[in-house]
Amino acid sequence: MKTGDLVKMTYISFWQKKHPRASVTYTEVPLLVYESAHNAVKVILPDGTIKTDLKEYYEVISKA
């Protein structure tokens, strides 16, 4: 996973984000990787905000 890749949330992340008080809701929209380091990734959400999360919650759908 590198900067510029398109990723989507995994099924496991769906159940974690399904909770109504979660800071980020689940989305099927592809997200853009902003930055990646070790097991962490920053993605740009559809509303333009940047979210830091674990790489295991995302899968690559298109490489940069």
Q: Each residue of 32-42: pLDDT tens digit? A: 999 999 999 99
pTM of the model: 0.78
Mention every residue, 6+ apart, whose C-beta is less than 8 A from residue 4. Answer: 32, 33, 64
Q: Each residue of 12-64: pLDDT tens digit? A: 666 666 666 656 667 788 999 999 999 999 999 888 999 998 898 899 999 98
pLDDT for residue 57: 87
Per the CB < 8 A criterion, the answer to whether 1 and 64 are in contact is no
pLDDT for residue 20: 61
Q: How many CB atoms lie within 10 A of CB 3?
A: 12
pLDDT for residue 50: 93
